[in-house]
């Protein structure tokens, strides 16, 4: 249990931005976590893979990086398996474990960076699947009492890139493990996005779980920048959910404006389309910019500061609001 002081968090976040934390330690068990919390009266910042964070300043807080490992089988029947996974496991490694063992349910979420412990925070999702679809429960340490509490799917109040941990319980719990329910019966979802066409291009008619995972990985690699090469945190904004009438108004000026049905008269408009149509795709200001292949991703070309990336996000929000009357909401956590 080594506590470090004044450590640069640049290598710990995928944006790769300099920010000094006054305290830093890793924990690989709940006991270690409890002991670490007792050593400080500073605020805490819990870190997984740092892939959904923008640090805009130095941080006078105790940064605790989750390294609790382990994938345990809780139960197995003829048709499903329940797995309890340590919050510090890498998400993609966990997905690969499921793909290799033919546990169905998370393959469409291949290659999402970050930790298993952060996955419920914003109910991660991709290609038509969200973790709420395979989520059984989680365990979290209540910071104030030091007690472990279990949360069911319902108690997490999952929504599109939302959970109770981003709202009412923000900053109150540290997720230590997540339990998933996966199918042992072949069940694949290839209808969303370009998965079907990616499989067809490869001549695959009856895909395996591995084929679907590989297709998702190929699609993602074709548009999303690799954080090891170009700093970023994935989609910087959420796709706005608006009443259908707003989309209909948009169509009168932009007949090809895309939208996806949500429910009850609402549609999702791709924020990437709004940002691209506003003329920002590929724009670079100093060392930060809007990615050339995916306008929803803001990037750090090397020496951008967190404040510069944040300022760019303000400019994008204002311009999209002026041009389309639609307010973008950040997805990335700003510190
Ligand atoms: P971090 O960035 O370390 O933390 C995120 C937030 O959760 C912070 O507020 C942190 O304090 C808090 N936190 C972290 N761990 C815990 C814990 N154990 N307990 C309590 N609080 C915690 N997301 C998607 O949903 N879908 C995608 O397709 C997707 N694609 C991406 C592609 C790229 C290239 C990148 C860089 C990011 C992408 N993301 C995507 C965003 C990101 O991968 C997810 O949000 C991921 O779950 C973040 O995990 P993390 O461990 O890196 O979290
Ligand atoms: N688009 C553009 N220009 C762009 C980018 C997108 O016009 O530069 C439009 C196109 O119409 C395209 C549509 O947006 O068809 C959707 O684009 P894409 O399939 O790339 O997905 P996205 O909506 O930009 C969302 C998630 C991703 C997730 C993918 C696949 C959000 C905020 N983002 O992106 O999640 O991987 O769908 O399911 O919902 C993340 O959360 O960090 C993330 C990467």
Q: Relative to the alpha carbon of 127, which ligand is closest?
A: 2
Q: What angle do CA 243, 248, 254 make, to 5 degrees?
A: 125
Structure tokens at 201: 């291009």
Confidence (pLDDT) at 202: 95
Find out whether 44 and 6 touch, Cβ atoms under 8 Å. no
Angle at 180 between CA 219 and CA 170, to 5 degrees: 85
Class of domain 71-183: alpha beta
Does residue 288 line the site of ligand 1, with CB under 6 A?
no
Give the span between the Cα atoms of 163 and 148, in whole angstroms. 18
- Ligand 2 centroid to 33 CA: how many Å? 36
Euclidean distance between CA atoms 81 and 262, whole angstroms: 30
Query: Which residue is closest in CA terms to ligand 2's atom 9?
Result: 273
Closest-lying ligand 1 atom to the alpha carbon of residue 121: 7
The ranges of the chain annotated as CATH 3.90.78.10 are 231-334
331 is catalytic: yes
Residue 185 sits at the vertex; the CA angle it makes with 179 and 190, to the nearest 5 degrees, is 90
Q: Is 294 helix (H, G, I), strand (E, B) or coil?
A: coil
**CB of 174 closer than 6 A to ligand 1?**
yes
| Residue 137: active-site member | no
Q: Nearest residue CA, atom 31 of ligand 1?
A: 234
Spatial distance between the Cα atoms of 251 and 242, rounded to a whole number of angstroms: 14
| DSSP sequence for 222-267 | HHSPPTTTSEEEEESBPPPEEEHHHHHHHHHH-TT---EE-STTEE
Is the CB of 306 inside a 6 Å radius of any atom of ligand 1? Answer: no
Hey, whose CA ends up nearest to atom 33 of ligand 1? Answer: 234
pLDDT at residue 314, rounded to an integer? 98
Local confidence pLDDT in tens for the 335 residues of the chain:
799 999 999 999 999 999 999 999 999 999 999 999 999 999 999 999 999 999 999 999 999 999 999 999 999 999 999 999 999 999 999 999 999 999 999 999 999 999 999 999 999 999 999 999 999 999 999 999 999 999 999 999 999 999 999 999 999 999 999 999 999 999 999 988 799 999 999 999 999 999 999 999 999 999 999 999 999 999 999 999 999 999 999 999 999 999 999 988 999 999 999 999 999 999 999 999 999 999 999 999 999 999 999 999 999 999 999 999 999 999 999 99
d(CA 179, CA 86): 9
CATH topology of domain 4-66: 3.30.43
Instruction: State the pLDDT at residue 268.
Output: 97
CA of 268, closest atom in ligand 2: 23
- Residue 231 C-alpha to ligand 2 middle, in angstroms? 18
- What pLDDT does residue 181 have? 98
Query: Closest ligand to 114 CA?
Result: 1
CA 272 – ligand 2 centroid, Å: 6
> Is residue 272 within 6 Å of ligand 1 at its C-beta?
no
Query: How much distance in Å is there from the Cα of 147 to the middle of ligand 2?
Result: 38
Q: What is the pLDDT of residue 192?
A: 86
| Residue listed under structure tokens 């395996």 | 208
161 is catalytic: yes
Q: Is the CB of 333 under 6 A from ligand 1?
A: yes
| Portions of the chain given CATH number 3.30.43.10 | 4-66
Do residues 36 and 25 make contact, with C-beta atoms less than 8 angstroms apart?
Answer: yes
In this predicted structure, what is the pLDDT of residue 264?
A: 87
Question: From residue 138, how far is each of 36, 49, 149, 172, 181 by CA, in Å?
Answer: 21, 18, 8, 15, 12
Q: Is the CB of 118 under 6 A from ligand 1?
A: yes
Choose the catalytic residue: 235, 259, 308, 313. 235
Residue 22 tokens read as 């006054």
Q: CB-hemisphere CA count at 13 Å for 249?
A: 9
Nearest CA to 181 out of 133, 229, 233 is that of 133
Say whether domain 231-334 belongs to CATH 3.30.70.120. Answer: no
The CA 287 to ligand 1 mean position distance, Å, reads 23
- pTM (2 decimals)? 0.98
Burial-class residue 56 by CB neighbours within 10 Å (0-12, 13-18, 19+): middle
Ligand that lies nearest to the alpha carbon of residue 278, given by its number in the listed order:
2
Judge if the beta carbon of residue 233 lies within 6 A of ligand 1. Answer: yes
For residue 91, which ligand has an atom nearest its CA? 1
Please provide the distance, in angstroms rounded to a whole number, between the alpha carbons at the two ends of the chain: 25
For the chain, where do the domains classified as CATH 3.30.465.10 start and end?
Answer: 71-183
Calpha distance 126→120 (Å, rounded): 14
Residue 160 CB-density burial (10 A; 0-12 exposed, 13-18 middle, 19+ buried) = middle
Does residue 203 contact residue 164 with C-beta atoms inside 8 Å?
no
In angstroms, what CA-CA distances link 198 with 129, 214, 217, 220, 316?
A: 18, 9, 10, 11, 32
| C-alpha of residue 291 to centroid of ligand 1, in Å | 19
Please tell me which residue in 107, 161, 198, 308 is annotated as part of the active site. Answer: 161
């Amino acid at each position: 249990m080594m506590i470090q002081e004044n450590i640069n968090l640049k290598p710990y976040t995928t944006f790769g931005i300099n920010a000094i934390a006054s305290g830093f330690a890793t924990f690989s068990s709940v006991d270690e976590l409890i002991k670490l919390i007792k050593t400080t009266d500073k605020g805490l910042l819990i870190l997984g893979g740092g892939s959904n964070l923008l640090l805009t300043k130095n941080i006078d807080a105790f940064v605790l990086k989750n390294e609790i490992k382990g994938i345990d089988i809780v139960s197995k029947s003829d048709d499903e398996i329940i797995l309890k996974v340590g919050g510090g496991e890498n998400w993609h490694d966990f997905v690969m474990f499921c793909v290799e063992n033919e546990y169905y349910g998370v393959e469409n979420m291949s290659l999402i960076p970050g930790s298993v412990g952060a996955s419920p925070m914003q109910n991660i999702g991709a290609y038509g699947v969200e973790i709420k679809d395979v989520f059984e429960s989680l365990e979290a340490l209540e910071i104030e009492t030091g007690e472990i509490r279990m949360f069911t799917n319902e108690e997490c109040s999952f929504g599109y890139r939302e959970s109770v941990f981003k709202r009412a319980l923000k900053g109150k719990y540290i997720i230590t493990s997540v339990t998933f329910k996966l199918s042992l019966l072949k069940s694949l979802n290839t209808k969303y996005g370009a998965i079907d066409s990616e499989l067809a291009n490869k001549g695959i008619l009856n895909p395996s779980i591995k084929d679907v995972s590989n297709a998702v990985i190929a699609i993602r690699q074709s548009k999303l920048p690799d954080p090891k090469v170009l700093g970023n945190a994935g989609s910087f904004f959420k796709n706005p959910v608006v009443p259908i009438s707003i989309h209909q108004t948009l169509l009168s000026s932009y007949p090809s404006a895309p939208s996806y049905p949500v429910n009850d008269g609402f549609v999702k408009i791709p924020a990437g389309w709004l940002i691209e149509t506003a003329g920002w795709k590929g724009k670079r200001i100093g060392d930060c910019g809007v990615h050339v292949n995916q306008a929803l991703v803001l990037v750090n070309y090397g020496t951008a500061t967190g404040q510069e990336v944040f300022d760019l996000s303000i400019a994008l929000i204002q311009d999209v609001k002026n041009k389309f009357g639609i307010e973008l909401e950040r997805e990335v956590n700003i510190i």
